[in-house]
Amino acid sequence: MLRKFSFSIDSLPLGCLESPSKSGSDARVIKSPSRVNMIQNAIRQLATLIFLPLTLAGRMIEVALSFVSQLKAGDLCLEGKVVVVTGASSGLGERLAHAFYNEGCKLILASRRLPELTRVRDEILASESRNERVIPPVVVQLDLAETGKIQDTANAILGIYGHVDILVNNAGISYRGEISETTPDVDVKIMTVNYFGTVALTKALLPSMVARKTGHIAMIGSVQAKLAIPFRSAYAASKHALQAFSDCLRAEMNHNNIGVTVVNPGYVKTNLSLNALTGSGQQYGQMDENTESGLDPVKAAARIVTAIKRKQDELLLCEWYYHIIVFVRSLFPKLFFMAMVHRAAKQFAAKKDV
Ligand SMILES: NC(=O)c1ccc[n+]([C@@H]2O[C@H](COP(=O)([O-])OP(=O)(O)OC[C@H]3O[C@@H](n4cnc5c(N)ncnc54)[C@H](OP(=O)(O)O)[C@@H]3O)[C@@H](O)[C@H]2O)c1
């Protein structure tokens, strides 16, 4: 397949990559590759038509297989498990902390703001849902942007109970901006927190899980791990990267009895957009309409905990129409690209009107 593909690209005359004049000897060069392109396009369209039913059947088999494997695996009992939740100082992470505590877990809450983590811990202890629990959550300061310090933080985490059963990589920052106006520093910051820092923490805790031949890692990605939408480049790129890393991790860790659940939420009603970075690195500071009307974080956290208990590989946690868009993106990419061009044009027009 690969050889065939590279042959077709290599076989294109170099003239088609240059900017030929519309008359003279170049004319022949333009004509021939465009015919080749047309034939290639026709073959591609035909292949899509032929493979469409196969893809649909494949998806159905995939759903059936994951259902069977879930039944076989049974539910993970969370009682007494040591669970680390990053980004537990607000939003989804805060609600996840409550949900895991209600399951009887020994919690370790991590993020940058210790006072906020302490507030979350105190509210958990004050909540009446699980009075009989006597193990208060432990708070740990963690800055995912400081990748050099992550191993030390992981060692401190391992020192608390001697091991970690479940790592929930929830911490993250979002971004709002136009690629051409975004400084590379902002791209680096988003990738560092959402991807490199998260990967570093995972790798720092993994050897202990491998040694015990048990563990579970949950990654809170985003629907933007599947769909890249304009003006979210750095964020979508970081979540795409996290999805790819997680898929490799799942395959490589299966023989060590370590599971990986990737949760890709749509909009959840949190402060994510308020805390998002703009192209210049400032805080965006606005509550997006979509985020404001997003999923209730309590309900989102409950569904995430269930997915982890079931050792689900993936959870696309969003409205039904996002499932269709993800489907369209993989089966009819051209349609999706056209919609995104339209969306970007609308946003550029709105920007001009301001
Ligand atoms: N809300 C949505 O619509 C939505 C949709 C899809 C995916 N998600 C994902 O859900 C996760 C949680 O976000 P949220 O919606 O709950 O937003 P949020 O309220 O802004 O929470 C983000 C959390 O990440 C922590 N954090 C940020 N930078 C960090 C750093 N450098 N090191 C360590 N922790 C850091 C923050 O804590 P500190 O400030 O204390 O460090 C905070 O607890 C994120 O991964 C986000 O991408 C959210």
pLDDT digits (tens, 9 = 90+) for 101-160: 999 999 999 999 999 999 999 999 998 666 565 689 999 999 999 999 999 999 999 999
pLDDT of residue 62: 73
Which atom of ligand 1 is the closest one to the Cα of 235? Answer: 47
Assess whether the C-beta atom of 270 lies below 6 angstroms from ligand 1: yes
For residues 175-196, give the mean pLDDT. Answer: 98
Using 50, 70 and 90 to split pLDDT, how confident is the model at 353? low
Share of the chain above pLDDT 90, in %: 74
Please provide the DSSP assignment of 46-104 as one string: HHHHHHHHHHHHHHHHHHHHHHHHHHHH-PPP-TT-EEEEETTTSHHHHHHHHHHHHTT
Per-residue pLDDT band at 24 (split at 50, 70, 90): very low
Instruction: Give the pLDDT band of residue 2 (cuts 50, 70, 90).
Output: very low
Quick one: pLDDT at residue 68?
74
Q: Which of 101, 175, 195, 235 is catalytic?
A: 235
Q: What is the pLDDT of residue 10?
A: 34
With a 6 Å cutoff on the Cβ, whether 170 touches ligand 1 is yes
Give me the mean pLDDT over the 283-300 stretch: 95
**Cβ-count burial of 340 within 10 angstroms (0-12 exposed, 13-18 middle, 19+ buried)?**
middle
- Whole-number Å distance, alpha carbon 273 to ligand 1 midpoint, is 10
* Of 8 and 168, the one with more pLDDT: 168
When mean pLDDT is compared over 32-36, 49-53, 250-254, the highest value belongs to: 250-254
Please say whether the beta carbons of 88 and 115 come within 8 A: no
Strands (E), 136-256: 138-141, 166-169, 175-176, 215-220
Task: Quote the pLDDT of residue 280.
Answer: 96
pLDDT at 64: 79
Whole-number pLDDT of residue 21: 36
From the CB of 102, is ligand 1 less than 6 Å away? no
Pick from 125, 255, 238, 132: nearest CA to 188: 238
| Helix (H) or strand (E) segment spanning residue 280 | none
93: pLDDT strictly greater than 60: yes
Q: Name the least confident of 21-35, 214-228, 234-248, 329-343.
A: 21-35
Domain presence at residue 72: no
What is the Å distance from ligand 1's center to 276 Cα? Answer: 9
Residue 73 has a pLDDT of 61
Backbone angles phi, psi at 76, to 5 degrees: -80, 130
Instruction: Dump pLDDT digits (tens) for 45-74.
Output: 777 776 677 767 777 777 777 777 666 666
Domain presence at residue 349: no
Note whether residue 52 is domain-resident.
no
Range of the domain at 175: 77-318
Report the candidate in 65, 57, 7 with the shortest Cα–Cα distance to residue 331.
57
Query: How many whole angstroms separate alpha carbon 87 and alpha carbon 143?
Result: 10
Average the pLDDT over 154-172 and give the result: 98
Ligand 1 contact, 259 CB (< 6 A): no
Quote the pLDDT of residue 306: 97
What local confidence, expressed as pLDDT, does residue 118 receive?
98
* 171 Cβ closer than 6 Å to some ligand 1 atom: yes
Q: What is the dihedral of CA 94, 174, 143, 141, to 10 degrees?
A: -10
Whether the per-residue pLDDT at 14 is higher than 70: the answer is no
Q: Is residue 284 in some structural domain?
A: yes
Among 68-82, 149-163, 268-282, whose mean pLDDT is lowest? 68-82
Residue nearest to atom 27 of ligand 1 (CA): 172
Is residue 120 in some structural domain? yes
We report the CATH number of the domain holding residue 288 as 3.40.50.720
Distance 91 CA to ligand 1 centre (A): 7
Q: Is 113 in the pocket of ligand 1 (CB under 6 A)?
A: yes
In a domain, 56, yes or no: no
- For the record, the structure tokens of 131 come out as 């009075």
Asked, for residue 339, whether it belongs to a domain, the answer is no
The domain tally of the chain equals 1
Q: Which residue has the higher pLDDT, 156 or 16?
A: 156
Domain assignment of residue 285, yes or no: yes
Structure tokens at 134: 């006597």
CA 150 to ligand 1 centroid distance, Å: 17
Query: Quick check: is 235 catalytic?
Result: yes
pLDDT at residue number 201? 98
Residue 134 has what pLDDT? Answer: 65
Residue 229: name the closest of 344, 82, 66, 102 by CA: 344
In this prediction, residue 3 carries a pLDDT of 37
